[in-house]
Amino acid sequence: MPSYDLIVIGSGPGGYVCAIRAAQLGMKVAVVEKDKTFGGTCLNVGCIPSKALLHASERFEEAGRAFARMGIKVATPALDLPTMLRFKDDAVDGNVKGVAFLFRKNKIEAHAGVGRIVAPGRVEVKPAGGPGSTLDAKAIVIATGSDAARLKGVAIDEKRIVSSTGALSLERVPRHLLVVGAGIIGLELGSVWRRLGAQVTVVEFLDRILPGIDAEVARQFQRLMEKQGISFKLASKVAAIDSSEQVLKAAVEPAAGGAASTIEADVALVAIGRVPYTEGLGLEAIGPKLDERGRIPVDGRFATSVPGIYAIGDVIAGPMLAHKAEDEGVAVAEIIAGKAGHVNYDVIPNVIYTSPEVASVGKTEEELKAANVAYNVGKFPFTANGRAKANQQTDGFVKILADAKTDRVLGVHIIGADAGNMIAEAAIAMELGAAAEDIARTCHAHPTLPEAVKEAALAVDKRAIHM
């Protein structure tokens, strides 16, 4: 029976990064993956294909709308959807092959099949249709990720009623796309299909979009999305979707109860969150017991209640983000190797890759108010930033929240072009315990969008220069 120092179940960003770090630390490592390719949700049906489609559809819209304003004359762009979908598939292919290369380079042994933990230190691998095999290890890391949450009574066929996976591969542009859930997936993929020509209506249970994001940012973002043509029906829920005819008929009710109205659409995207995935792992027999939301409980060292079994990524508590899973992968490998692995959950950036982008790190105003923390706000709009004006991309602002007593940066919220890249500066500042004044005193290149971050830091002390 093959024997390892570590078996990682799942090759998503949590699992594959954990395996590589463990191999770097000298461990003999095996990875068990049930899907045909490595990389998990993120590389196959998540981050990478969605960003490829966001990129391509943004260029499509830019060519149609913004080029003429810059003096670039092109014929009205025509959509070649099969080629755009191939562009997305190529992006996935390149990334998943990259993981296979890294496994070979780090001498990580990959086993294809569903991994089931039959005892602490023992994993049975069952390939589809083939005989199973058994592997032994000193430690096991569960990195089995998550799956789309289902809407009660609504069956997903991935053709007309789709999860994000189906929405990444629609064969034609829907005339009307109904999106259930104004979260990150709904707004990213809603943006993609709107740019390609669909009418998009988003139905959201709460009375606001993007729960968890700073409310002021979410309000401005909703206005910008509406200007782009996306309609929102807030405080509403989809009670049922009738798919018996050619057009889908969704019964939409006020969240608080009341009479339903009907929305007709040709495709419905259900994007109401994701749930941890533990199917087939055999946890019912050997533990650990799942919490009320189906997550695997772990302690500060990612250890479950079963000795030698650890868990990381979407299958445990915390934001379901690839970089959070990756950092946990590194930390748990270091902990198993006897080092001091650690993840700072106060500094996990969050980016929504729409146009403009939304990016944040640290606390929102609502969280600081709820915790009774006194804070100062520094805000700077992109309308006053030279580079944004040059590019004529002036939507949005940077907002910095700093402790009223110490000036320490507690949260940074950006809405604007390239916000996702700009948030890295804020994350480093927070990781190093910077004060707003530290950012304000740091020389920023001109003309760049990050100058707005510096100006927002100056604005904390009411001394922004260009406002």
Rounded distance between C-alpha atoms, residue 59 and residue 48, angstroms: 17
Sheet holding 375-381, edge to edge: 350-352, 357-362, 409-416, 397-403, 375-381
Only one of the segments 72-80, 153-161, 243-251, 320-328 lies at the binding site for ligand FAD (rule: CB under 6 A); that segment is: 320-328
Smallest gap from residue 26 Cβ to ligand FAD (A): 23
Select from 19, 23, 41, 60 the one that contacts ligand FAD (CB under 6 A). Answer: 41
417 binds, among ligand NAI, ligand FAD, none (CB under 5 to 8 A by kind): none
Rule CB under 6 A: is residue 356 a binding residue for ligand FAD?
no
For ligand NAI, the binding residues (CB under 6 A) are 151, 180-186, 188, 203-206, 211, 237-238, 271-274, 319-321, 351-353
Rule CB under 6 A: is residue 233 a binding residue for ligand FAD?
no
Instruction: Count Cα neighbours of 364 within 13 Å in the Cβ-side half-sphere.
Output: 15
Rule CB under 6 A: is residue 357 a binding residue for ligand FAD?
no
Among positions 78-137, residues that touch ligand FAD (CB under 6 A) are 114-115
Rounded distance between C-alpha atoms, residue 166 and residue 47, angstroms: 14
Rounded distance between C-alpha atoms, residue 264 and residue 57, angstroms: 25
Q: Which long-range contacts (CB under 8 A, 24 or more apart) does 58-63 make?
A: 58/195, 58/355, 60/84, 60/195, 60/196, 61/195, 61/355
Select from 32, 52, 92, 210 the one that contacts ligand FAD (CB under 6 A). Answer: 32
Residue number, 188 or 266, with CB nearest to ligand NAI:
188
Rounded distance between C-alpha atoms, residue 174 and residue 170, angstroms: 8
- Tokens at 88, concatenated: 């997305």
Only one of the segments 9-17, 246-254, 360-368, 388-396 lies at the binding site for ligand FAD (rule: CB under 6 A); that segment is: 9-17
Residue number, 40 or 396, with CB nearest to ligand FAD:
40
Rounded distance between C-alpha atoms, residue 183 and residue 321, angstroms: 14
Of residues 259, 262, 242, the one with CA closest to residue 251: 262
Rule CB under 6 A: is residue 322 a binding residue for ligand FAD?
yes
Rule CB under 6 A: is residue 47 a binding residue for ligand FAD?
yes
Of residues 354, 299, 350, the one with CA closest to residue 323: 350
Smallest gap from residue 453 Cβ to ligand NAI (A): 20
Select from 4, 6, 7, 15 the one that contacts ligand FAD (CB under 6 A). Answer: 15
Smallest gap from residue 159 Cβ to ligand NAI (A): 19
Rule CB under 6 A: is residue 9 a binding residue for ligand FAD?
yes
Smallest gap from residue 111 Cβ to ligand FAD (A): 9
Select from 185, 192, 238, 427 the one that contacts ligand FAD (CB under 6 A). Answer: 185
Rounded distance between C-alpha atoms, residue 195 and residue 79, angstroms: 10
Rule CB under 6 A: is residue 144 a binding residue for ligand FAD?
yes
Rule CB under 6 A: is residue 420 a binding residue for ligand FAD?
no
- Tokens at 41, concatenated: 């949700």
Only one of the segments 30-38, 92-100, 170-178, 299-307 lies at the binding site for ligand FAD (rule: CB under 6 A); that segment is: 30-38
Residue number, 222 or 350, with CB nearest to ligand FAD:
350
Rule CB under 6 A: is residue 164 a binding residue for ligand FAD?
yes
Smallest gap from residue 209 Cβ to ligand NAI (A): 7
Rule CB under 6 A: is residue 42 a binding residue for ligand FAD?
yes
Residue nearest to ligand NAI (CB): 183
Residue number, 144 or 385, with CB nearest to ligand NAI:
144
Rounded distance between C-alpha atoms, residue 251 and residue 240, angstroms: 5
203 binds, among ligand NAI, ligand FAD, none (CB under 5 to 8 A by kind): ligand NAI
Residue number, 57 or 394, with CB nearest to ligand NAI:
57
User: Which residues are the active-site residues?
Assistant: 446
Smallest gap from residue 407 Cβ to ligand FAD (A): 30
**For the residues of 342-392, what is the DSSP string, one character each?**
---TTS--EEE-SSSEEEEEE--HHHHHHTT--EEEEEEEGGG-HHHHHHT
Q: Which long-range contacts (CB under 8 A, 24 or more apart) does 128-137 make?
A: 133/2, 134/1, 135/1, 135/2, 135/3, 135/4, 135/7, 135/30, 135/32, 135/111, 136/1, 136/2, 136/3, 136/4, 137/3, 137/4, 137/5, 137/6, 137/7, 137/30
**Phi, psi (deg, nearest 5) at residue 10:** 110, 130
375 binds, among ligand FAD, ligand NAI, none (CB under 5 to 8 A by kind): none
Give 439's contacts (C-beta < 8 A, 6+ positions apart): 400, 409, 425, 426, 429, 453, 454, 457
What residues make contact with ligand FAD under the rule CB under 6 A? 9-15, 32-35, 40-42, 46-47, 50, 114-115, 143-146, 164, 185, 277, 280-281, 313-314, 320-323, 325, 353
